[in-house]
Amino acid sequence: MKKLGFIGAGNMAEALIRGLLAGHVVRTSDLIASDIDRGRLQRLKRIFKIDVTNSNAEVVRGAQALLIAVKPQNIDEVLVQLKAAAEFSGSNDSTRRRVQGGRTKGAPSPVVLEKRLFISIAAGITIERLNRGLGSRAHIIRVMPNAPAMVGEGMAAIVRGSAATRSDENFALRIFNAVGDAVALKNETMLDAVTALSGSGPAYVYLFAKAMADAGVAEGLPPALALRMALKTIRGAEINMRQSKLDANELIRVVASPGGTTEAALHKFAESGFSDIVSSALHAAAERSRELGR
């Protein structure tokens, strides 16, 4: 593994660091993280014993691969910082020691951004926009992860830029496979659909689970029991659907006996346009993702 630096040390960065170390994909000495929040840095240093800093420039100088995990609205500022760090490192700054034998004694080697791998999880930020900030020859991979990565059950999709290599892609896949599942896509435009389905998807499941539990309470169940039963039902159905050779429609028919309780509920879902509601909700999320990209 290359030395991996995190620009941004929030919840997703913490989840990735935990998964990488737990899976023995990296060593603590292979990691460094930066953030403006000193509390976050202290937490990562205390829990994982990794190097931390409040300087993005230090991460650029110390890591061959950088995972950009900042909010989309902060991306342009961060890209300027990364490029400035490289330009400063390569300059003949007056604070450096005098040149001896044709080399600047004691000066760090110039940082060449084209030799770094940049992996961005900033939602909606396109590869083209990253290239504008880092240079057209920068090795860039864009990733759409999701929140279940924080419990090791994430789903991520990655797309590599034109300068990134297959080796870069495999490196990124190793990172996100450490916290769940990851897939490489050829077409970046597919990431808007990925964002709508798996990126935002956990919130839809939470909403459905809450609706099931609330309905159970309305029918007379204690709240704690209703939520427990809703969550276990969703988990059991997910495992069954993943392992079964039957498709979704066939699985539904197995549960829904003619004239039974399940059929009565399914009729209500159909009358309310349940599938159309889900479709329009995902379309709204995908459209918003496209807007953010523009």
CATH topology of domain 201-293: ProC C-terminal domain-like fold (1.10.3730)
Residue ranges in the chain whose pLDDT is less than 50: 89-106
- The angle at the Cα of 26, spanning 137 to 1, to the nearest 5 degrees, equals 35
Enter the tokens of residue 49.
């014993």
H runs (alpha helix) in 244-273? 248-255, 261-271
Q: Return the domain boundaries, the chain.
A: 4-192, 201-293
| 3-state SS, one letter per residue, for 131-189 | HHHHCCCCEEEEEECCHHHHHCCEEEEEEECCCCCHHHHHHHHHHHHCCEEEEECCCCC
Of 53, 52, 67, nearest in space to 5 by CA: 67
pLDDT of residue 1: 64
20 contacts: CB under 8 Å, gap ≥ 6: 4, 26, 31, 175, 178
Query: From CA 246, how far away is CA 254, in angstroms rounded?
Result: 10
- Reported as type and span, the H/E element at residue 279 is helix 274-293
Give, in order, the Cα–Cα distances in Å from 53 to each of 86, 117, 122. Answer: 17, 20, 20
pTM of the model: 0.86
CATH number for the segment(s) 4-192? 3.40.50.720
pLDDT of residue 131: 93
pLDDT of residue 99: 35
pLDDT of residue 104: 43
